């Protein structure tokens, strides 16, 4: 038996698997899993069959400027996160719920068995290519707003009338990412500073993610989501768009359709899953972004991360 504790039975929900999104990638990630585990090799080989490129070569050897292109970044992180999550579950660490930041929601839903690895990767491929294309067709940018509350940030975006700019990621209290047309984002950045933001930094991204500029990507992805089988998840997955747990196939499908044009409500998701009984969380995938956010959201959540085979082998809760 693993460390799963059944929430439905009225016991304490303990472990959440949290899956990272874009910008957590690094060249060489997952190579130890490919070389040293049967599951890792199988899944990377399947991924090469599904992708139109040698995704193994890009993930393991880069170069970085290729790996960080959206159409490769998203599938790469998804592949690595799912392999790590499955190896953790093979070890006996069974999550009681899951969540994923933007792209990471697909990894979380695969680990929750709402769809299989291949279906998830096909969805992520369509999503990533759609977002890359939308970014080329409708140039946009994003900026991090530090030290301003959610409500004020959102109001400034809503009041700006000379272009599209919206709140895209509510990462922590006092850290919101805004997204939209280049001119509009740059126009509201000084307004955020005037309203009391400590820092406003434009991000190096290939498009205005989680904004109306992603509409063309949403249309392509919606078509695919409506054509595939999605199952009820075996554990609740906290949806980005509502910060609430979903498990029914219909709600999962709608959440993924809505996700591209709506904000990621991350700190609300973490607060909600803790309220629902989660005491421990594990970042399943490359990097430490979610661990950093967790510390700023609520330090009482026991948060760790797993991104290598060595960490999987040595993973244990005391």
Residues assigned a catalytic role: 102, 210
DSSP 8-state secondary structure symbol assigned to residue 205: -
Token pair 């609300």 is found at 268
Number of residues that this document lists for the chain: 318
Could you give the CA distance from residue 180 to residue 165 in angstroms, rounded to a whole number? 4
Of the candidates 122, 173, 120, 114, the residue with the CA atom closest to the CA atom of residue 145:
173
Tokens 């393991």 locate to 60
**207 CA to centre of own chain:** 16
Give the integer Cα–Cα distance in Å for 95 and 178. 32
> How far, in Å, CA of 1 to CA of 3, rounded?
7
φ, ψ (nearest 5 deg) of residue 85: -60, -40
CA angle centred on 290, ends 288 and 294, rounded to 5°: 120
As a whole number of angstroms, the distance between CA 101 and CA 169 comes to 9
The Cα-based distances of 51 to 20, 54, 78, 96, 191 in angstroms read: 21, 7, 13, 31, 43
């Amino acid at each position: 038996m693993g460390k799963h504790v059944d929430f439905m039975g009225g016991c304490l929900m303990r472990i959440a698997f949290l899956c990272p999104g874009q910008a957590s990638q690094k060249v060489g990630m997952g190579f130890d899993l490919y070389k040293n585990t049967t599951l890792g090799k199988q899944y990377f080989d399947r991924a090469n069959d599904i992708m139109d490129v040698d995704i193994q070569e890009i993930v393991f050897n880069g170069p970085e400027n290729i790996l960080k292109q959206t159409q490769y970044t998203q599938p790469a992180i998804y592949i690595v996160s799912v392999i790590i999550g499955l190896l953790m579950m093979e070890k006996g660490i069974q999550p009681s719920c899951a969540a994923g930041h933007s792209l990471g929601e697909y990894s979380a839903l695969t680990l929750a068995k709402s769809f299989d690895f291949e279906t998830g990767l096909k969805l992520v491929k369509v999503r990533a290519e759609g977002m890359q294309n939308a970014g080329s067709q409708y140039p946009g940018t994003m900026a991090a707003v530090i030290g301003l509350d959610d409500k004020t940030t959102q109001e400034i975006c809503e009041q700006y009338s000379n272009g599209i700019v919206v709140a895209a990621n509510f990462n922590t209290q006092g850290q919101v990412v805004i997204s939209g047309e280049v001119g509009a984002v740059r126009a509201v950045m000084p307004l955020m500073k005037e309203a009391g933001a400590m820092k406003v930094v434009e991000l190096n991204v290939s498009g205005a993610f989680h904004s109306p500029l992603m509409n063309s990507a949403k249309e392509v992805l919606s078509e695919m989501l409506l054509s595939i089988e999605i199952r009820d998840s075996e554990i609740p997955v906290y949806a980005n768009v509502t910060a609430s747990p979903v498990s029914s196939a219909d709600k999962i499908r709608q959440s993924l359709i809505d996700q591209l044009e709506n904000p990621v409500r991350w700190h609300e998701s973490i607060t909600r899953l803790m309220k629902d009984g989660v005491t421990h969380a594990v970042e399943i995938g490359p990097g430490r972004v979610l661990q950093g956010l967790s510390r700023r959201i609520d330090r009482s959540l026991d948060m760790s991360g797993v991104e290598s085979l060595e960490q999987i082998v040595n993973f244990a809760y005391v």
